[in-house]
Amino acid sequence: MEKVRNLEQRLLGPAGRQHLNEISDLFTLCESEDLRLVAAALSSVSKALAHHRKLTVELAGEADRSAEQELVKWLRQHGEALRSLLLQLAGSGQTRAQVCAVRLQASLLRDEALEMSLSTKMSGDELARLFGLARPELQIQTLLTELLLAPRWNSQVVDCLMSEYVREYDDFRHYMMSHLRSCAEQVGKVSREPGSEVSKDTTVTDKGEEAEPPTKRKRLHGPFAEAAFQKGRSAEELFERLLALLKQAPEPDPVKAQDEEVTGELLLPTSRPLGHYRREYRKLFQEAWLKLLGLRVPLVHCSALLQLLPTSVIPHLSRPLLLSDFYLRAFHAGSLEISVLALSGLLLLLTRYGLGDPETLSASCGEFYSQLYSLLRPATFRLKRRARFQRLAAAALTSGLLPGGFAAAFAKKCLRVAIALPEPGSILWLLSLAYGLIQRNHSHCSFLLHREEIEGMSNLTKDTFDSEADLTQATKQVASSSLWEVQLLFRHHLPAVSTLAKLFERPFFKPTSRKLDPEIFLDQSVAKAYEQALKSADRQAARLKARGTTCPLAFQVEDDPLVLRVSGWAAALSTGQRRIGAGL
């Protein structure tokens, strides 16, 4: 460290130009394995280059022109070498090195921006062109590219970016979100091509044709996609890394707050006001998420993503309905739990955001209820978090969006599933749901409970309703069916189930009829049902006692002489003899 300080003092001293070649010693120190020494050497290089750029501008025209041009060229080359070393650190995959690169790059950007804003002899743009200083947003985006394509992804680097820069500085946040949007878009272009992958090490396609040259790929897909191609990063890896950054990105300000006084801080001096970055950030936030969700989402991330969207993303979208395609794709991902979550998101879009004009709404409702109907099966009620689906189904089937023609099919399916389930809570919930459906849509469902005798139907021995059919077919089949499942549930071994099923025998279509809330049956476990049965027995015993009727605990049975004789013989036999007798 002492050597770094001495070199820095000589380079920044009055005779600094005579020691310019000693900057190579600082670059040599950057090859050390000691990260603190590397960071100190890079910082000293940055200070030395900035100092001599300033001197070159101030002394322009006083020195020999050719010598001045050589010095400018020398400063440009070493500035590029400095930025190249920072990018190597960022792409190393080592956590401490990457964090160091982020902090050094941010410090370098701030110093260069301040240098250009304080320049008096030439404008900032002229200074940047003279010494080859890249625009701040390009340097930030290049840094992010190296982090995204590094061999290993480190959450500590994400925490450093977010806590120290993205949440603190509006301009840094703006540049990052703009780059994430661009990266997701480029990955999407590659993924949509038939038979293509972001990472493909071969230079020949599956058809035996030569692959596109790098220059053409870069032009068609973008620099990020081409860099990912060269480094062998898969689309799944890129999705995971982009998602990690977007999940921790700050949410945009509410729309109402945008007209109020804007407070914040900028990392770089700029002519643009702070309000510009705040207004643009909302648009970038929306576009970045839409581009990311347009990619193929790995199944491992679906569940967390579907839970995140309703609270952290959808409220900030100007057009939430654009997510409907993502939810439909997630529904068909293959996992039952993910299908439930996706259907929950679709219901949110239907109820809170309208899901478009009336014509679109009708088509969307039909699609939604078809997917909901397909989830009404015994396997769904074996999920650990089945209460989520049950609340979703109850909300959807009590909504005014439910087409009346679907009500009978849903009621029939609920009872068909109920007779196939062993768990009492789910049976009670399905009974109450079917009861409410028929009660609210009695004009479409009354035939299920009472059908006039039709010639030729008395000899029917098979139910035409197929529980495996889709909603469209089930709607047709249920017209010639009935709720015979209720009769079966009358004889259920659990008194609570049989009691609830008997409500279907009563005239429950009147406005004053009893209403059932499926919510109360969500936590109805076997143990709770047993406790309720015991309490019911206690109440029955109390009523019998009030009437003066005794409730016998046991009945006296007369002894049968033959039974007593056989019991005596059995007691007289040895254990081994009884075992032999049992095996006969």
Domain end, chosen from 248, 280, 296, is at 296
Residue 544: pLDDT band (50, 70, 90) is: low
Torsion of CA 476, 477, 480, 483, to 10 degrees: -120
pLDDT of 525 higher than 80: no
C-alpha 429 chain-centroid distance: 29
Would residue 351 count as lying in a domain?
A: no
Residues 377-427 have pLDDT tens digits of 999 998 888 888 899 899 889 888 888 889 999 999 999 999 999 888 899
Torsion region of 268: left, alpha or beta (phi above 0 gives left; psi -120 to 50 gives alpha): beta
Name which of 17-31, 110-124, 161-175, 461-475 the model is least confident about.
Answer: 110-124
What is residue 578's predicted lDDT score, i.e. its pLDDT? 47
Q: What is the mean pLDDT of residues 215-230?
A: 74
Residue 107 sits in the same domain as residue 152: no
- Whether residue 120 sits in one domain with residue 5: yes
Task: Give CA separation, 352 vs 310, 320, 347, 562, in Å.
Answer: 11, 10, 8, 76
Q: Do 58 and 83 fall within a single domain?
A: yes
pLDDT tens, 242-285? 999 999 999 998 755 444 566 778 888 776 788 888 889 999 99
Q: Quote the mean pLDDT of the chain.
A: 82
Which residues lie below 8 Å from residue 503, measured CB to CB, with a gap of 6+?
Answer: 435, 514, 516
> What per-residue string of b and e applies to 404-434 under the rule 16 or more CB within 10 Å gives b?
eebbbbbbbbbbbbbeeeebbbbbbbbbbbb
pLDDT (0 to 100) of residue 388 = 87
Could you tell me if residue 388 is inside a domain? Answer: no
Note whether 82 and 171 are same-domain residues. Answer: no
Report the candidate in 502, 468, 481, 486 with the shortest Cα–Cα distance to residue 419.
486
Residues 161 and 285 in one domain: yes
The pLDDT tens digits of the residues spanning 314-371 come to 999 988 888 888 988 888 877 888 888 888 888 888 888 765 444 555 566 778 889 8
pLDDT > 70? residue 221: no
- Calpha distance 342→337 (Å, rounded): 9
Give domain status of residue 362, yes or no. Answer: no
Could you tell me if residue 316 is inside a domain? no
Higher pLDDT, 532 or 185: 185
Predicted confidence (pLDDT) per residue in 32-88, tens digit: 889 999 999 999 999 999 888 888 888 776 666 788 888 889 999 999 999 999 999
What distance in Å separates the CA atoms of residue 472 and residue 454, rounded to the nearest whole number?
25
pLDDT of residue 198: 53
Residue 155 sits in the same domain as residue 112: no
How far are the Cα atoms of 109, 391, 562, 563, 581 from residue 572, in angstroms, in the given order? 100, 62, 16, 14, 13
* The domain boundary residue, chosen from 274, 296, 318: 296
Q: Sorting pLDDT into bands at 50, 70 and 90, what band is 291?
A: very high
Domain stops at, among 111, 134, 157: 134
521 and 443 housed in the same domain: yes
Model pTM above 0.95: no
Asked if the structure places residue 290 within a domain, the reply is: yes
CA distance to 26, 29, 44, 81, 97, per residue, from 38 (Å): 9, 6, 10, 14, 10
Asked which of 118-132, 231-245, 318-332, 465-479 is least confident by mean pLDDT, the reply is: 118-132
Q: According to the model, what pLDDT value does residue 474 have? A: 93
pLDDT of residue 245: 95
Is the same domain home to 111 and 242? no
Report d(CA 257, CA 563) in Å as an integer: 89
Residue 467 Cα distances to 83, 416, 420, 488, 553, angstroms: 65, 7, 11, 17, 45
Does position 155 have pLDDT exceeding 70, yes or no? yes
- Is pLDDT above 60 for 205? no
Identify whether residues 273 and 145 lie together within a single domain: yes
How many whole angstroms separate alpha carbon 145 and alpha carbon 223?
Answer: 10
Q: Is 332 helix (H, G, I), strand (E, B) or coil?
A: coil
Q: Where are the alpha helices (DSSP H) in 200-318?
A: 214-221, 223-231, 235-248, 274-293, 299-308
Percent of the chain with pLDDT over 70: 82
* 189 plus 108 within the same structural domain: no
Contact 149, 114 (CB under 8 A): no
Residues 182-207 have a mean pLDDT of 61
- Looking at residue 240, what is its pLDDT? 93
Does residue 210 carry a pLDDT above 50?
no
> Do residues 517 and 432 share a domain?
yes
Most confident of 120-129, 360-369, 449-458: 120-129
From CA 549, how far away is CA 536, in angstroms rounded? 17
Q: How confident is the model at residue 453 (pLDDT cuts 50, 70, 90)?
A: low
Q: How confident is the model at residue 215 (pLDDT cuts 50, 70, 90)?
A: low
Structural domain includes residue 446: yes
**Do 128 and 143 fall into the same domain?**
no
407 belongs to a structural domain: no
User: Is residue 310 in a domain?
Assistant: no
Please give the tally of structural domains in the chain: 3
Instruction: Report the C-alpha gap between 207 and 201 in whole angstroms.
Output: 15
- H helices of 353-398, in order, are 358-375, 386-397
The domain in which residue 145 lies consists of 138-199+216-257+265-296
